[in-house]
Structure 1
């Protein structure tokens, strides 16, 4: 079936509504593709089990590889059930045992939906007084359905101590699947370093809003953040500082693997970025032979860009590139390897084209798909490459046209317009943190654009999705990241997930307002935009 949007039930409860009343079925971010409210609510109680099933009762041919041929419940479905139980248990105080025993009632997680329109990430949530059932064709869909269930419960469910019930979910059915397959967020760990636990915290926040890619900006002028065995000083020396001269840091290979594992458990794919050939001062400072003059520059703690470049004419440069990309590719099970390519002002145009051709070949050599900032289109993107557009609304027609032409020739696009969804841009003149080189970006401006029509001349089918980067020149810890990311991150998540016809500012601002207490319960000190009627 084709998914269609129904706005029924998609408005927030009015102020003063009884606390025991369930949240309206469509009061979600991202807004679902289809909402059909109706019937009495489902209530989670002290006797509620979480039943996990392989969906064999739905017939064969689902294509779900995680279900064994013996018909037993897959490890993935059980893991999602355990995740849900652990999520709900502290606030409800209920045991919520996970079982594969058949029986009436409970919260039911079922793989094997025959509905092909759900794809790999879609789900159906059906709530009746007898049971609450989430069905999907693949585990990622079940996980996204669990996030929807989470949002339908009272905000206090996010608490880590027992809260008063009731725990009701409005009756009806949600049928939902994403608009775009690439729904990303980027975290810059180079300008300031963020430890593993901070990255995990951000991953959990992204998962709640169905983001499925975490782009890690692992190298820049100010710091190198990933251990490379063949070039150890990259991390030990190049990672020893950050903007402002702090201690910096880097991820060991095991720490990076832990981030990748944790992201995968939340159905996020990690996209690692090694920025080349510019933004490389940390590498140049670590190894003199990477410099054309053989002299290592000092470590850098400022914020000016465009001054550094690998030495394109030296053979050792390509030994370096091969070693680094090989080791990063081996650590990363995901599809993409991002090689930057932006702001290479210290590299001549001729050298840039030559370098990017060789770097792209290395990415392919190690079985990954090339991803780069949109300046990659000034070279010749290889077949299947993805360009990440970070220009502005006001970017000139020549540059935009170059990207659109590449898209017409088969280059995929991920859209990250800086004056729309760069989460480090100041909201207003009075915003203490962040920068403003791309302009001031209030919540409505961040939300009010459409990826399908944003880049004139680019075929709609070339747009793989969107990504909301957050650069950290002025951000030093999770609290500061959250002040800038929230609530704009929620808008980016909706742009990536929800059907275009389901989105409009007037209803979004009300649904966003209803998210305020949940963000507060999660300990997120978000920006309370005056454009939103916060609860």
Structure 2
């Protein structure tokens, strides 16, 4: 593996590292794009999916300076340079008209920027999160969208050369404290800027209209029962709060974590917490053992404050997440002024609402992975599934086999993305993640693929395969023909040692075994293997229609399932394939293939197994949310729209018996072959993850149109907090 990386590096060294001046990106070779530090383009730029802007963003991973001053381009498209962390300097085209939404989102090393006089539109969140930007010059009078220049913590000077203040939103410069940034405007226009929306923020905190929260328009997921006390006096929340735990039902130390989460939430929203029962509003947290479900909660708002009760601490926590949204209201500001008196009775429809992330293809640094957890929890998503192993990398430390992370946690390239992919998680980091996630009642579920999608391990231990020859780590999408050999004793020794450590690291009851895409023709490698033939004979397998190879996979699975159940008390999970004629009772199988959900559900019912619903047409969040959305270039992904996600029925039209006995939950998947930064994971996940959360939580959920109304405040809140998401809905 090291030799392969060195060869790649040597090839790249031949590319020029100095400034590249060309008409368009197509004039550069792939190696030149990947090694470019400075670019100057002078031709007509394409905004098409495979055009110049996508190539600059995804193929020039090291570029620091881009000069488009002489280029012919009237539009910087949406997401054009989204989360390009190396970009320091940009010269915009002289004839530019429009800067699209999130065009420079989280370009956190970008410094001084000049907006040409030709620009008439700067769209929402265009430069949000460019925290190193010190100077901003606006030569014309463009319309400036919401949060276009939000969260620019390094900004010192803004120069505007228009006598008339450009039209801006009150949130366009969100995060700028009055007097902290020098606003330089033409002489004689100062008073106009002081009064203009958005610009007045430079002189004084904006005065926002008083707001009473309307929970019917701001809660996601929607509670099962929400009753607002009409005519009752609203509760002023802009005051001191006191967090109290009832000890009547033994809530005491059980809710210590929830007290901390409540303090965290109220500090972020209001910032005024006291420790005296004699002052302020009371937030009472309590355990109610009479509630029917472990995740159930009730919330009552009256003239004295708020009371949240849950059957368990988890239920209390979900109640706090609901209160957070009530306090957020329309999303126009951090916190509303008042909330109505109300009663909420809530319980989930499904008990597992999962997101799966894929650090195997694109590594997610541990701090970024941890940050993903509280965002999930806001919407009552309660499981994070880690796809830790695949053909492209091995990402989890196994002390028995240190070679796995020493040699198989790095590679050069993924399809046309010629860049280094490296990193792995230590066992201590994973234990810390588990502990951290537990504070937000999110369970961490590990996945170790088998028998396919194991090229990373095979590259280190070729003796795991039938032919026992070394192969390089895969650097492309698709399915490999390299499989673990079920007739090889070392396969079981290796998996046994790996799962022994995985079971110790992760306290979850569940371990995912993969199992997908090991079918024809890949399984044919077992047909000519002497060890596999001997195993077939031993097992009495005589068929020759390829079903015999699926029976071998069943044997391999049965052995590992038995190990996990009997030795480690774990419940195995796996991706369902239609050739699985038998599923061990109690296992959890995932219905993932587009159009084959009915067959997967039928197999689960017939085998008394449980099933996780994550069909691609509803739940594959790595797919673009609309045509032309990220990822623009992929392997032919269809679109998974927000409406398609919201429309999923967890029971798939079946009766309550299916829900009670077979349905395990719903999951959204984020395969990362085409995701190149942690911010892009958020972008692909949201807002579809919120739609999935409601589909999994709320029985008899409202219409899609109603959901969009309630999503708007959440979207505003995310933008204010600097969380990226797709706007293509």
- Is TM (by shorter chain) over 0.5? yes
| 2:706 aligned partner | 507
SS at match of 1:32: coil
| 1:409 aligned partner | 607
| Inter-CA distance 131–457: structure 2 relative to 1 (3 Å threshold) | closer
| Inter-CA distance 285–98: structure 2 relative to 1 (3 Å threshold) | farther
| Inter-CA distance 380–35: structure 2 relative to 1 (3 Å threshold) | same
| Inter-CA distance 166–438: structure 2 relative to 1 (3 Å threshold) | closer
Q: Determine the C-alpha separation between the residues in 1 that align with 2:223 and 2:679.
A: 29
**Is the Cα contact below 8 Å between 2:219 and 2:325 reproduced in 1?**
yes
Q: Post-superposition shift, 1:287?
A: 1.3
Q: Determine the C-alpha separation between the residues in 1 that align with 2:469 and 2:309.
A: 60
| 1:482 aligned partner | 682
Residue 23 (str. 1) matches residue 222 (str. 2): no
Q: Determine the C-alpha separation between the residues in 1 that align with 2:255 and 2:221.
A: 23
| 2:345 aligned partner | 175
Q: Determine the C-alpha separation between the residues in 2 that align with 1:214 and 1:376.
A: 26
The counterpart of 2:508, out of the listed 325, 330, 334, is 334
Q: Determine the C-alpha separation between the residues in 1 that align with 2:600 and 2:636.
A: 23
- Count residues in correspondence: 485
What are the Cα deviations for residues 293-321 of structure 1, in whole angstroms up to 9, with x where unaligned? Answer: 22221122211224221111110000011
The counterpart of 1:384, out of the listed 558, 564, 586, is 586
The counterpart of 1:358, out of the listed 536, 559, 584, is 559
Q: Determine the C-alpha separation between the residues in 1 that align with 2:725 and 2:305.
A: 35
**Is the Cα contact below 8 Å between 1:104 and 1:131 reproduced in 2?**
no
Q: Determine the C-alpha separation between the residues in 2 that align with 1:476 and 1:107.
A: 45
What are the Cα deviations for residues 180-209 of structure 1, in whole angstroms up to 9, with x where unaligned? Answer: 111111111111000111111211110000
Q: Post-superposition shift, 1:436?
A: 6.6
| 1:144 aligned partner | 318
| Inter-CA distance 79–520: structure 2 relative to 1 (3 Å threshold) | same
| 1:231 aligned partner | 401
Alignment of 1:79-478 (within 5 A): 79-94=257-272, 96-97=273-274, 106-117=281-292, 119-154=293-328, 167-241=337-411, 243=414, 244=417, 245-345=419-519, 346-347=522-523, 348-364=549-565, 365-375=567-577, 378=580, 380-392=582-594, 394-395=595-596, 400-401=598-599, 403-433=601-631, 435=634, 437=636, 439-453=638-652, 459-461=658-660, 462-478=662-678
| Inter-CA distance 276–166: structure 2 relative to 1 (3 Å threshold) | closer
| Inter-CA distance 250–451: structure 2 relative to 1 (3 Å threshold) | same
**Deviates further, 408-417 or 452-461:** 452-461
- Which segments of 5 or more consecutive residues in structure 2 lack a partner in the other structure? 1-207, 524-548
| Inter-CA distance 268–426: structure 2 relative to 1 (3 Å threshold) | same
Q: Determine the C-alpha separation between the residues in 2 that align with 1:194 and 1:259.
A: 13
| Inter-CA distance 82–460: structure 2 relative to 1 (3 Å threshold) | closer
TM-score (norm 2): 0.63
**Is the Cα contact below 8 Å between 1:121 and 1:177 reproduced in 2?**
yes
Q: Determine the C-alpha separation between the residues in 2 that align with 1:402 and 1:487.
A: 27
| 1:48 aligned partner | 241
Q: Post-superposition shift, 1:437?
A: 4.6
Higher-RCO chain (CA-CA 8 Å, sequence separation at least 6): 1
**Is the Cα contact below 8 Å between 1:34 and 1:175 reproduced in 2?**
yes
Q: Post-superposition shift, 1:213?
A: 0.7
SS at match of 2:252: coil
Larger Rg over CA atoms: 2
Q: Determine the C-alpha separation between the residues in 1 that align with 2:585 and 2:602.
A: 15
Q: Determine the C-alpha separation between the residues in 2 that align with 1:356 and 1:320.
A: 14
| 1:13 aligned partner | none
Q: Determine the C-alpha separation between the residues in 1 that align with 2:652 and 2:516.
A: 24
Q: Determine the C-alpha separation between the residues in 2 that align with 1:314 and 1:35.
A: 59
Q: Post-superposition shift, 1:515?
A: 1.7
**Is the Cα contact below 8 Å between 1:77 and 1:109 reproduced in 2?**
no
**Is the Cα contact below 8 Å between 1:376 and 1:387 reproduced in 2?**
no
Q: Post-superposition shift, 1:420?
A: 0.7
Q: Determine the C-alpha separation between the residues in 2 that align with 1:454 and 1:309.
A: 37
- Which segments of 5 or more consecutive residues in structure 1 lack a partner in the other structure? 1-17, 57-66, 531-535
Q: Post-superposition shift, 1:439?
A: 2.0
Give the aligned CA root-mean-square deviation in angstroms.
2.5
| Inter-CA distance 106–377: structure 2 relative to 1 (3 Å threshold) | farther
**Deviates further, 128-137 or 219-228:** 128-137
Residue 528 (str. 1) matches residue 727 (str. 2): yes
| Inter-CA distance 116–287: structure 2 relative to 1 (3 Å threshold) | same
Q: Post-superposition shift, 1:177?
A: 0.8
**Is the Cα contact below 8 Å between 2:350 and 2:665 reproduced in 1?**
yes
**Is the Cα contact below 8 Å between 1:155 and 1:517 reproduced in 2?**
no
The counterpart of 1:32, out of the listed 223, 230, 240, is 223
TM-score (norm 1): 0.85
SS at match of 1:49: strand
| 1:15 aligned partner | none
SS at match of 1:375: coil
Q: Post-superposition shift, 1:247?
A: 3.4
**Is the Cα contact below 8 Å between 1:240 and 1:248 reproduced in 2?**
yes
Q: Determine the C-alpha separation between the residues in 2 that align with 1:238 and 1:475.
A: 20
| Inter-CA distance 126–155: structure 2 relative to 1 (3 Å threshold) | closer
**Is the Cα contact below 8 Å between 1:221 and 1:308 reproduced in 2?**
no
| Inter-CA distance 230–98: structure 2 relative to 1 (3 Å threshold) | farther
| Inter-CA distance 97–311: structure 2 relative to 1 (3 Å threshold) | farther
| Inter-CA distance 136–19: structure 2 relative to 1 (3 Å threshold) | farther
Q: Post-superposition shift, 1:375?
A: 2.3
